[in-house]
Amino acid sequence: MAETQDKNRVVIFDTTLRDGEQSPGCSMNVPEKLRMAHKLAELGVDILEAGFPIASEGDFEAVRSVANELPWVRVAALARSCTLDVQRAASALEPARRPRIHTFIATSDIHLEFKLKKSRQQVLEEACAAVELARQFTDDVEFSAEDATRTDYDYLEQVTRAVVAAGATTVNLPDTVGFSVPQEYAILIDRMVKAVGDTAIISVHCHDDLGLATANSIAAVVAGARQIECTINGIGERAGNCALEEVVMAFRVRHDQLPYTTGIHAQHLYPASKLLTEYIAFGPQPNKAIVGLNAFAHEAGIHQDGYLKNKSTYEIIDPKSIGIPEGRLVLGKHSGRHALRSKCEHLGYPVSKEELDVVYKGFIEIADRKKNVSDQEILAILLTLKASERMKTDTAVAGG
C-alpha cells in the first residue's frame, strides 16, 4: 500500500550511505555505494540518502550515480541551509526522477552560541530561505533541525511551523547527540505533530549514545512521527544511528503492541547487513540484535534442550524470515571441506571450488591451534577473500 494511504505506514529513510558512511571505518567508494544502493532498493527502503554533495567530489558523484542508476528510487541529498549547499545537492540530484533535498541547520542554543555564532532569528531566516530555494528544484523538501532534542521547544515549534510554511514537506527532529529518552522524545514529537497537522510528515533521526536510538524512534512513531531515519547495522556518527533492522522487526514481531508497517522485505535484512560488512571495516557486534552472529545461537544446555523440543521456547524470529540460510554446524579440525562449504553458505557466502581451497587453508591454520573455529573467524577469512577479489576486479576495471 502506498505510504500515504495507510495512517500507520512508516516511511523508512535509509541513511547508511550518508550518516552511516561518515563515521570512522565506514567510508565507501562510489562502486561500493552503488552496489549497496541496489541492495537497499531491493530491501525496500522508501528513501535512500546517498550523500552530502558539497562535502566532497566523491559524495557528489555517489549521489549522482545512485540517482542515475536507480531512477525509480526516491534519492535524497543532504545540504546545510545555505545557497551553495542547496544548489550543489540539486545539481547532484539532476538525474533523479524523485529527488529529495534534505536541508539542515542546528537550532539548539548550544549550537547557535558555540558553533554557528548566530541568533535564533538568523537561523530561522536561513532555514526558511534554504527550504524556499530547495523548493525551486523539487517538491520534495525535508528540513532537519539539528540537535532538536536540546532545543527550546517553543523556538523549535516556531521553526517547524515556519519551514512548513516555506515549503518543507517533511520536518525531521533529530536526537543528534543521543541524549533523549523515550517518554521525553514522545512529548516533543507529539507537540510538533500537532503543530503541523497533515501539512507535513514528522520524521525522527536518533543517535545511539545512550543505547536508546531504537527505543526513541519507536516512542516517536507511537507519538505520531511517520518517518524513521536509520541505517543498516546501526552504523553512523559515534555510537551510530537507529538500526533499520531493529525497528522494522520490532514492528513485525510486536505488531500487537506496535501496529505499524513499513515497505521493507525482511528476507533481505541479513543479506544487506552482510554486504555492508564486506564494504566497511567492521561487522555488527556478535550479540547485535537481529543480524549479529550470535543473535540465533543457543549455547546454554537448558536453552538448547528447549530449542530442540520447540524453537519458539527461545526464538522469537524465524532466522529464515530475515534471510539467514539454514544449517548450523560447529567446525573443528576434523571437519571436512563439505562442512566448511556448507558453513560458508550458512554465513551467506557460497564459495566456488577455488575459493573453498583458500578458505580451507585459513581454516586449517586456525583449527590446528584451537579446538573449535568460530563463525566469526570463518567470516573473517571470507571477508578477506572477498576484499582481495574486489580489489582485483577494481584494479582490472581501472586498468581498462
| Interface with ligand KIV (CB under 6 A) | 19, 104, 144, 146, 172, 174, 176, 205, 207
Q: Which of 190, 121, 134 is nearest to 162 (CA)?
A: 121
CA distance 80 to 156: 18
Choose among Zn ion, ligand KIV, none what residue 146 binds, the Cβ cut-off being 5 to 8 Å by kind: ligand KIV
For ligand KIV, give the closer residue by CB, 28 or 378. Answer: 28
CB of 281 to ligand KIV, least distance (A): 21
Cβ proximity to Zn ion, 19 vs 126, nearer residue = 19
For ligand KIV, give the closer residue by CB, 138 or 261: 138
How many Å apart are CA 300 and CA 58, to the nearest integer? 48
Among 105, 124, 125, residue whose Cα is nearest residue 115: 105
By a kind-dependent CB cut-off of 5 to 8 A, residue 104 interacts, out of Zn ion, ligand KIV, none, with ligand KIV
The site partner of 342 among Zn ion, ligand KIV, none (C-beta below 5 to 8 Å per kind) is: none
Q: Are 381 and 359 in contact (CB under 8 A)?
A: yes
Distance of closest approach, residue 97 Cβ to ligand KIV, in angstroms = 24
- Tell me whether residue 241 or residue 335 sits nearer to ligand KIV (CB atom): 241
Residue 341 interacts with, from Zn ion, ligand KIV, none (CB under 5-8 Å by kind): none
Contact indicator for 172, 205 with CB cutoff of 8 Å: yes
Q: C-beta of 22: minimal distance to ligand KIV in Å?
A: 8
- The smaller minimum CB distance to ligand KIV, of residues 19 and 32, is found at 19
Give min distance, CB of 251 to ligand KIV, in A: 22
- Calpha distance 133→121 (Å, rounded): 18
Angle in degrees, CA 191, 44, 235, rounded to 5: 70
Q: Please identify, using beta-carbon distances, which residue of 104 and 349 lies nearer to ligand KIV.
A: 104
Give 108 or 262: the residue with its C-beta nearer to ligand KIV: 108
Least distance from ligand KIV to the Cβ atom of residue 15, Å:
7
Q: How far is the CB of 52 from ligand KIV (least distance, A)?
A: 8
What Rg do the C-alpha atoms of the chain give, in angstroms? 22
Which residue pairs from 273-277 have beta carbons closer than 8 angstroms and sit at least 24 positions apart in sequence? 273/232, 273/233, 273/245, 274/347, 274/348, 274/349, 275/35, 275/36, 275/39, 276/16, 276/36, 276/232, 276/233, 276/235, 277/233, 277/379, 277/383
Question: CB 398 → ligand KIV: shortest distance, Å?
Answer: 32
> Which of ligand KIV, Zn ion, none binds 346 (CB below 5-8 Å, type-dependent)?
none
Q: Which does 277 bind (CB under 5 to 8 A by kind): Zn ion, ligand KIV, none?
A: none
Q: What is the DSSP letter of 324?
A: P
